[in-house]
Each structure stands twice: as C-alpha cells, then as structure tokens.
Amino acid sequence: MYPPKSVSVSISASGEIVEGDSVTLSCSSDSNPPALIFSWFKEDQTSAVGSGQSFIISSFNSSHSGRYYCEAQNQYGSQRSASVSVSVKGAWNILYIIGLYATIAAAAGFGILFLIR
C-alpha cells in the first residue's frame, strides 16, 4: 500500500487548439489502492478549477489558456503532477495579422475588402 506517485497529465487535443475547441485533460497515477480523488488546478488561481480524473473545457477560449496540473489522492497521501501549458490560437491573433497586412497595403495605395464570417 502506497500513496500516488508518477502523477501525469495528458491532453486530448493534438497540435493547435483553436478557439471553441473542446479540450480534455486526463490525470493518471500509480498508487495502491488506486487514487479516487483527483483535483485540477490552474497555476494563476488559488482554488481548484475542477475535480475528477478528467477535466473537460467544452468551449476553449483565451481565458482558459495557462498552466494546469492535477493532484491525485488516496488514503495514504497525495501527489501533484507537473504542470502542462495549454493555449489557444484565437481569432484575434489571425485578425491582428490580417490587420497588419491591411495597414501596409493601404499605405501602399491598395484597395482592400474584408469578409469576416
């Protein structure tokens, strides 16, 4: 019998996370008996942001960006995982780049038409 060890976080999203995506963080650990209590933390917040072995953010946006970690607990103790960085590639970043090119093109005397969905 021993407390949780080798606690780790995995992310469901592979590659770039786009605003509006669903993101699932999963916590795993090695313990005996198995950990039954899982808590989720975001590094800039003082209290837990979620509980359970999986933490789901259904509509990810820039306010969700940050570093997350989980804590696994059984009756013999608890251990935290290393934190993982999760960030969003938002529409504003894309618009900023388009806006920069538009400014350059307008300064050069080009007409520009923007179609935004």
User: Which domains are assigned to the chain?
Assistant: 2-107 (2.60.40.10)
Cβ-Cβ contacts under 8 Å for 36 (sequence gap 6 or more): 73, 74
pTM above 0.85, yes or no: no
**Over the stretch 52-92, which tens digit does the pLDDT of each residue have?**
999 998 888 888 888 999 999 999 999 999 999 888 775 55
3-state secondary structure of 81: coil
Q: What is the mean pLDDT of the chain?
A: 80
Residue type, 17: I
Q: What is the C-alpha separation between 24 and 55, in angstroms, rounded?
A: 6
Query: Residue 27's closest CA among 11, 47, 3?
Result: 11
- In this structure, what are the phi and psi dihedrals at residue 57, rounded to the nearest 5 degrees? -110, 110
The answer to whether the beta carbons of residues 23 and 17 sit under 8 Å apart is yes
Between residues 80 and 18, which one has the greater pLDDT? 80
Q: What is the C-alpha separation between 47 and 58, in angstroms, rounded?
A: 20
